[in-house]
């Protein structure tokens, strides 16, 4: 059975055009910087985000980890959202591999970290204290509903960081969704950041890979650390070729995913037993709860949905996140709404 897969935008398989580009990619040994396709992708990523340089990395998790390892020394502290991917879902890499301590600050419901909370978390100079080195933002903020952070907010955090001699890193796994949703350029959104990680393998549909961007000096150090972590790849132009299509074409179509997420949310609001979050979706993620009266739990519904050909991933026993992407068309949206109707009856 061909499933409608709403578990994440990470499930996207490459398009036929990507597969063709991958088959025909010119390659070389990228550890020697000899792969022309990777070099082109890195130049394109840096230019698109308005930064000096970029590096291709195997995953978003590795991109974020490398950024933290470049910004921080062992024993330093990083201010992160308490609902951020870096804090919750990256296997504690910063502490295990970098000796870096997380200082979690509450994510507000709009995905932001309150400026006062950040200020209160910056350590004073004291022999007892770790040194606060970095602030991390996540845009879009996944767990807060796939909500985009504004360029104005990011500018304020950038200023706060500079005033306090901190650096700013953005986990921009879905930064292009954030830009499209707000009709601003991605350059403007990340302008205040010292480094940005973004993923090619989510809404941008490439099979593998993320980019880390920053100053030339930062990226030179990142290249060293990527090698240390075993992330130096060889003829990886076969993969980068898909990433070039991600940047040139897939960034231009994300509004389709957002429109379909909205259609899905509107349809699901009519299904008795489902309570779609107010304001959802903000981008390509629909978050919803099961009403208290419903006797079924999310795991039971997940099983029924699978039988109807729709894959969904429960967040917990009463909550779902549904993610639209390139392979979710209008028919899939309709089928999902009717599958939920049947599953709840």
Query: Interface with ligand PLP by CB under 6 A: which residues?
Result: 10, 59-61, 85, 138, 142, 171, 173, 199, 201, 210
User: Tokens at residue 241, please?
Assistant: 């070729």
What's the farthest any 2 CA atoms get from each other in the chain?
A: 62
Give dist(CA 242, CA 250) in Å, integer. 10
Q: How far is CA 55 from CA 39, 128, 244, in A?
A: 9, 36, 13
CA distances from 259 to 173, 262, 325 (A): 20, 5, 11
Helix axes 330-344, 298-307, angle to 10 degrees: 120
| Cα 7 versus chain centre, distance | 14
Q: How far apart are CA 227 and CA 154, in angstroms?
A: 31
For tokens 């490398």, the residue is 66
Pairing outcome for strands 210-214 and 274-276: unpaired
């Amino acid at each position: 059975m061909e499933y409608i897969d709403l578990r994440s935008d990470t499930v996207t398989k490459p398009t036929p055009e990507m597969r063709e580009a991958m088959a025909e990619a010119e390659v070389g040994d990228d550890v020697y910087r000899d792969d022309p396709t990777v070099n082109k992708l890195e130049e394109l990523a840096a230019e698109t985000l308005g930064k000096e340089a970029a590096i291709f990395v195997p995953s978003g998790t590795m991109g974020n980890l490398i950024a933290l390892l470049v910004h921080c020394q062992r024993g330093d502290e990083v201010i992160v959202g308490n609902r951020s991917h870096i804090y919750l879902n990256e296997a504690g890499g910063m502490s295990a591999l970098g000796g870096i301590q997380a200082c979690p600050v509450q994510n507000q419901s709009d995905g932001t970290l309150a400026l006062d909370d950040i200020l209160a978390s910056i350590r004073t100079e004291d022999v007892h204290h770790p040194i606060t080195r970095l602030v991390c933002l996540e845009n879009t903020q996944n767990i807060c509903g796939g909500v985009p952070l504004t360029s104005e907010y990011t500018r304020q955090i950038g200023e706060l960081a500079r005033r306090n001699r901190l650096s700013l890193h953005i986990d921009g796994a879905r930064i292009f969704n954030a830009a499209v949703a707000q009709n601003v350029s991605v350059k403007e959104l990340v302008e205040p950041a010292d480094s940005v990680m973004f993923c090619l393998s989510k809404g941008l549909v490439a099979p593998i890979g993320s980019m880390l961007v920053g100053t030339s000096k930062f990226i030179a150090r990142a290249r060293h650390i990527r090698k240390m972590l075993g992330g130096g790849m060889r003829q990886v132009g076969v993969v980068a070729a898909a990433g070039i299509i991600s940047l040139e074409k897939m960034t231009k179509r994300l509004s389709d995913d957002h429109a379909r997420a909205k259609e899905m949310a509107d349809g699901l609001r009519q299904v008795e037993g489902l309570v779609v979050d107010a304001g959802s979706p903000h981008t390509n993620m629909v978050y919803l709860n099961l009403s208290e009266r419903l006797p079924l739990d999310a795991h039971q519904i997940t099983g029924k949905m699978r039988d109807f050909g729709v894959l969904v991933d429960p967040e917990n026993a009463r909550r779902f996140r549904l993610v639209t992407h390139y392979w979710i068309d209008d028919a899939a949206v309709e089928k999902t709404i009717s599958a939920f109707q049947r599953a709840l009856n």
